[in-house]
Homo-oligomer: A and B are copies of this chain.
Amino acid sequence: MKSYTVIGTGAVGGYYGGRLAENGRTVNFLARSDYRQIRDNGIRVDSPRGNFHLKDVSVYEKAKELPPADVLLIALKTTSNKMLRNLISPILTDNTAILVLQNGLGMEDEFKRWFPENPVLGGMCFICSRKAGPGHIHHQDYGLITLGCLNEKDADLRNAVGLDMEESGVPVTLIDDLHEARWRKLLWNIPYNGLSVVLDANTKRIMDTASSRNIIERLMREVIAGAGACGVSIEDEAADKMLAFTDKMIPYEPSMKLDFDNNRTMELEYMYNRPIREAADNGYEMRSVWMLYQQLLFLEESRFNGSGQAQE
């Protein structure tokens, strides 16, 4: 049984950390905007797997005050990663494991470069959840977490974290190839996140319209080819399965669309730039993915320049 510190008590960190705490694990939470609410009223989770309310939560406003823990659960968006290096540096011992619960490619390698002594794990969360309010998480659907480790020698640690999660009611799949699992998750994330922003559409409209569905399919084929160039073999049927899976989903706004619509920075670096670069470095240009990425960069820049309108 491990102890945990959750960095980022939002839709992901609040849910998984909450599950672990509810089931008797020692869990400390770092919270920013929600700090007072959580300190005074705890964390509430609404979930089809059972609602719960954590009343006495070990919550901190300042990272440097956090007590040591076995595992740091990184649940902030990747747009915070540059700042994360300094944030977590003071609370790491040589044994503290870093478990990255983020979307994209290359985060684990980056944490490893920053903290070469520390075990680094990666977790992919297949979950629909959102923050309903301060200290209040609404878990809507799914919830599987797939867990892998950057170095094989940390497999026991991965297994121990997996066991903690499972005993807390979280479905877990242990994986041997983290790099492959990251690319497989990109097979959904790259097409749907970006296109939903550029076309201002949810998954249902994208899937129900022939033209946007055509684009999704082409992007998926390109991600599979890009992964292949990087030594990750993904079978063509994986794309068909993703399409069929998304056809059956309730109309869904991907996280990047929610970020865009709520004026939060989009996770472009790790979800687009890193995969595009890794594939290109290995000899394959994901040209359609690149074009989508450039369009997203344009929208990001327009927005923060306050000039989102074409009329001047």
Contacts and interface: CB of A to CB of B under 8 A. Distances in A.
Given A204-B312, A205-B310, A298 B199 contact: yes
A81 interface: no
Nearest to A199: B298
Contact of A201 (B218, B287, B297, B310): B310
A307 B206 CA distance: 12
A307 B295 CA distance: 22
A295 B198 contact: yes
Contacts of A201: 298, 302, 310
Interface stretch (A15-23, A56-64, A174-182, A207-215): A207-215
B287 A253 contact: no
Interface string A261-292: 10000000000000000000000000110011
Contacts of A202: 310-312
Given A212-B298, A215-B295, A294-B215, A257 B287 contact: no
Tallying the copies of this chain within the complex gives: 2
Nearest to A203: B310
A210 B298 CA distance: 8
Contact of A288 (B214, B287, B301): B287
User: How many residues of A sit at the interface, in one of the four size bands?
Assistant: 35 or more
A33 interface: no
A255 to B, nearest CB: 14
Contact of A257 (B204, B292, B310, B312): B310
A251 interface: yes
A299 interface: yes
A28 interface: no
26 contacts: A196-B310, A199-B298, A199-B299, A199-B302, A200-B308, A200-B309, A201-B310, A202-B310, A202-B311, A204-B312, A205-B302, A205-B307, A205-B310, A205-B312, A209-B301, A210-B297, A211-B295, A211-B298, A211-B301, A212-B298, A215-B298, A218-B291, A251-B312, A257-B310, A287-B288, A288-B291
